[in-house]
Amino acid sequence: MIAIIEYNAGNITSVARALHAIGQDFVITDDTKMLDAASHAIFPGVGAAGEAMAYLKHKGLDAWLKTCFQSGKPIMGICLGTQIILNQSEENDTNCIGLVDGVTKRFPENLQAAGQTLKIPHMGWNSVALKRHHPLFEGIDPAAWNKKGTVRKKGTVLFIFNI
């Protein structure tokens, strides 16, 4: 069974629907005993790093995530769940879990590309240009992700970034 970690940080329903759609058994919980019994953990989230870390610490989930990571149990972070596995986030100047060395940085004000100010948060369908091989894209036809376009059509990928 897969555990979806509940820590009051949004998008859990989306993950649950996806697992349900593929027939995967799962539980949504913040109980460490139930999390221990799971074969895998999904760490989703939408929200602010400071509030999320406060809840994780209050429930002892920060320590559980460190132990889980060290044991080798598969953990998949999504959005905020990926951000707060780093050492720190500039969002709320928050000390995070530290599973992976790094800092989540804010995009600079008035970020420019090709002489135009970029919209932040960046949300939309865009193309992807890989600079080198990566196993994440193994077995995926390049035509599925490398066409130009700003509306949803074959060959584009959905991006939602906001920090």
Domain with residue 85: its CATH number is 3.40.50.880
Look at residue 96 in the predicted model and tell me its pLDDT: 96
In a domain, 38, yes or no: yes
By mean pLDDT, which of 23-27, 120-124, 131-135, 154-158 is the weakest?
A: 154-158
In a domain, 59, yes or no: yes
In a domain, 64, yes or no: yes
In a domain, 132, yes or no: no
In a domain, 126, yes or no: no
Torsion of CA 71, 12, 63, 107, to 10 degrees: 100
In a domain, 159, yes or no: no
Domain that holds residue 52: 2-104
Length of the chain: 163
pLDDT, tens digit (0-9, with 9 covering 90-100), for 63-110: 999 999 999 999 999 889 999 999 999 988 999 999 999 999 988 888
Q: Hey, what are 156's tokens? A: 């584009």
Rounded to two decimals, the pTM is: 0.74
Domains in the chain: how many in total? 1
